[in-house]
Structure 1
């Protein structure tokens, strides 16, 4: 009798648990899928993302965080959101240290005298160094050098970054850029040069932010264009090489810019949002077309197309588009947004950022928990006609999304083909002509479909504050 009763109780508990799980399962209605298919085709025929990219890169151009052009970019973004008919438009301040580039020059001295194409690394101090070059194959080799062995010399790290569709080679390249100067200082170096973190063979050096460890006196630090790194290596194979490097750059106090935000209000749950965006700032040498005018344009245009829907067709939740401030120098806009909206984390359904150029989107994944996997699959179904594969369990949040994701925000990844992204990244060659309008339209279709369906879902995608133990375990 007891066994029978226990079996009955167990069965009842399992049924209840199953019923609760089913009731929590996130679903996307068939009607939303049909509307998304129409939206997808409209987006593929639209040149709106191209026109927005052209506007930002032409009317503002390069927009280094904290510069006069950055302020113009903020004004441009606010005006563009209004022009596109967003229901709400506002700004949120972001304050950060201001770095300026004024001039840079390097040259080989002696019998083989010749100029070298360099770019000061963001965060580098100014100064002139004239010294002998010591070459290292990679960061590990520099770190293994005896302390004091580079006294009065310039460290040159000649690490060649590998090309990859997903940009996997950038990890080591960016690590060298951020850690190399401090490693050189510890070995006694007076200056630091590195082969650019890039995959091209053009004479365009790649800039990017570096940092100096606390307690160290910063040294002039710069990146060489790939052909110049090759030239320097050939010269060193012939014997000692002396170089003069002169940088006029540095930190000049504090600056305030803004996250610029536009919102298309949802039909029935407008206080809940699906967040998409890109970053508004760029480095100062090109016009920041692929990094990241394209991302701003793709997500602005996606919001605009959803906003054009009739009231009946609009998704239940709001679509929030964020043009983030100062991503390039340390995710300042992303960190500020996460801090400002932490108490509203659960009202953020899911977020995605476009910040990997303008190549075609080829894969889709999310951080969705088990109860939202069916909804993720339905979004993947709607993206499949665009040539986008479902790749569950891969990737991670975009850069400006990551500070909020660390607090528990659900994220989606629309992976772009970055095979040639690092040919242009952070160089003077990052200009509008590098963007394929058809690929840009495919990106627009992907973001519009994703945002619309996520905002139409019945149920959530798992945004929830992380417990202290979760955060400790992630570190």
Structure 2
């Protein structure tokens, strides 16, 4: 297996270097996006595929002219998917579309069976008496609503993040949730959950929205529901992961760099196009575009973080390793739909005004909220109290695809991808040429 992996890595290095030697001025963002999703594919944290992605990324960044390109390894607690199956046994037999959640507990190979207790909301589960779910399978509903800024993901996502642990604490032998998504397809949405110390991990899966609708209708009818559940994946310690970084040097190396983040890993149901190959394509192409006409004052660094999906491990590892000063951080991790709003965490109003003015002709409005970056750059932002710019993409349909088998290249509009690159480049042309301090708002 080790020799096979090395051979795949060598093939990947040769193929990508040759491709970029032939067409160095091609559509960088689209080529990166298509390449990562087609040449590597799904990139589950800690997997061999994620390792191949690091080799691929290192070769691509070098071929594109980045310097100090490096793979920075670290180890993680990962999740290795097994067999995911669920069936309604009563009141009707029906095979459900289900996916295990990351860090789910493991069923026996033959699975488990149990009567279902229906909870319309997470709060309803919280209110259930202690021990009331003993021997039962909990089902948590709570349908997510779509909106442009994607802000519903925070509160609705708590069903996935916290629901299984709460159900375990009340005695459940398993838990099934409605997928955290806004589509009406029979595609379940995966994602990570958490079991705090002292809470027994129980099998935890998400069913598609139409299947959740079915369960909810049956529950409202008053009929008893029985379910079989087989989730054989396992939480596994000490798996290899890593970040890939690369610099485009500025004219004044004494100035702290601009940090651009994305994440290289993805869930395994699709090919991780919108989450987050698109983000890596956007920031990398924009960094190169900002060089047109000559290098800016400041170095621009790209961080292709590893293992974001299971807990933001890459961002934490970067912050721990890199104590050198940074000037500002940004992240792209919300697909590839058009940028419609910019937000800031910046003390220099004149500088933020210049950025907003540069973006205004593109129809990008200035928001009143405070920029926070994202999972891959938040640790270094918090550690160094960095200034932040957020370029908010239209999230109206993002959660139709998020963490599903439908997260594939065909869902990305090349024109909207190009608009992202142009918007990011406009910001970089301003901030990377700022000679003075770029301080965060107090």
Same fold (TM over 0.5): yes
SS, match of residue 391 in structure 1: strand
Aligned match of 1:144: 127
1:444 aligns with 2:421: yes
* In structure 2, distance between residues paired with 1:223 and 1:395: 31
* In structure 1, distance between residues paired with 2:35 and 2:106: 34
1:232 aligns with 2:215: yes
1:187 aligns with 2:163: no
Distance 1:253 1:394, change over 3 A: closer
State the Cα distance separating 1:390 from its structure 2 match.
1.7
1:52 aligns with 2:32: yes
Aligned match of 1:244: 228
Aligned match of 2:11: none
- Per-residue CA deviations over 1:234-260 (Å, capped at 9, x if unaligned) read 223340010000011011221122110
Unaligned 5+ segments in structure 2 are 1-24
* In structure 2, distance between residues paired with 1:388 and 1:213: 41
After TM superposition, the structure 1 stretch with the greater mean CA deviation from structure 2, 319-328 or 381-390, is 381-390
State the Cα distance separating 1:98 from its structure 2 match.
2.1
Unaligned 5+ segments in structure 1 are 1-44, 465-469, 471-475
State the Cα distance separating 1:271 from its structure 2 match.
5.3
- Specify which of 292, 297, 310 is matched with residue 281 of structure 2: 297
Paired residues of 2:270 and 2:407 also in contact (CA < 8 A): yes
Paired residues of 1:106 and 1:118 also in contact (CA < 8 A): yes
* In structure 2, distance between residues paired with 1:54 and 1:99: 26
Paired residues of 1:349 and 1:463 also in contact (CA < 8 A): no
Question: What aligned pairs does 1:151-170 form with structure 2 within 5 A after superposition?
Answer: 151-170=134-153
Aligned match of 1:390: 366
State the Cα distance separating 1:305 from its structure 2 match.
2.3
1:331 aligns with 2:309: no
State the Cα distance separating 1:169 from its structure 2 match.
0.9
Aligned match of 1:206: 189
Paired residues of 1:276 and 1:451 also in contact (CA < 8 A): no
Aligned-pair Cα RMSD in Å: 1.6
Paired residues of 2:91 and 2:224 also in contact (CA < 8 A): no
Paired residues of 2:316 and 2:376 also in contact (CA < 8 A): yes
The higher radius of gyration belongs to 1
Paired residues of 1:121 and 1:222 also in contact (CA < 8 A): yes
SS, match of residue 232 in structure 2: strand
- Per-residue CA deviations over 1:362-417 (Å, capped at 9, x if unaligned) read 11122111xx1101110111111221112244342212111122221221100111
1:428 aligns with 2:405: yes
State the Cα distance separating 1:147 from its structure 2 match.
0.9
Paired residues of 1:122 and 1:207 also in contact (CA < 8 A): yes
Aligned match of 2:22: none
Aligned match of 1:416: 393
- TM (norm. structure 2) is 0.90
- Per-residue CA deviations over 1:140-189 (Å, capped at 9, x if unaligned) read 10000111111111110111001111101111222111110111012111
State the Cα distance separating 1:463 from its structure 2 match.
5.3
- Specify which of 359, 378, 396 is matched with residue 402 of structure 1: 378
Aligned match of 1:256: 240
* In structure 2, distance between residues paired with 1:442 and 1:280: 21
Aligned match of 1:364: 342
Q: How many residues align?
A: 413
* In structure 2, distance between residues paired with 1:148 and 1:165: 40
State the Cα distance separating 1:110 from its structure 2 match.
4.1
* In structure 2, distance between residues paired with 1:282 and 1:159: 25
1:220 aligns with 2:203: yes
* In structure 1, distance between residues paired with 2:360 and 2:195: 45
Aligned match of 1:379: 355
Paired residues of 2:47 and 2:240 also in contact (CA < 8 A): no
1:265 aligns with 2:243: no
SS, match of residue 302 in structure 1: helix
Paired residues of 2:345 and 2:440 also in contact (CA < 8 A): no
- TM (norm. structure 1) is 0.84
Paired residues of 1:350 and 1:410 also in contact (CA < 8 A): yes
* In structure 2, distance between residues paired with 1:378 and 1:411: 15
Paired residues of 1:349 and 1:455 also in contact (CA < 8 A): no
The structure with the greater share of residues assigned to helix is 1
Question: What aligned pairs does 1:12-91 form with structure 2 within 5 A after superposition?
Answer: 47-91=27-71
Paired residues of 1:377 and 1:390 also in contact (CA < 8 A): no
SS, match of residue 218 in structure 1: coil
Paired residues of 1:348 and 1:463 also in contact (CA < 8 A): no
Bigger relative contact order (CA 8 A; separation at least 6):
1
* In structure 2, distance between residues paired with 1:460 and 1:395: 18
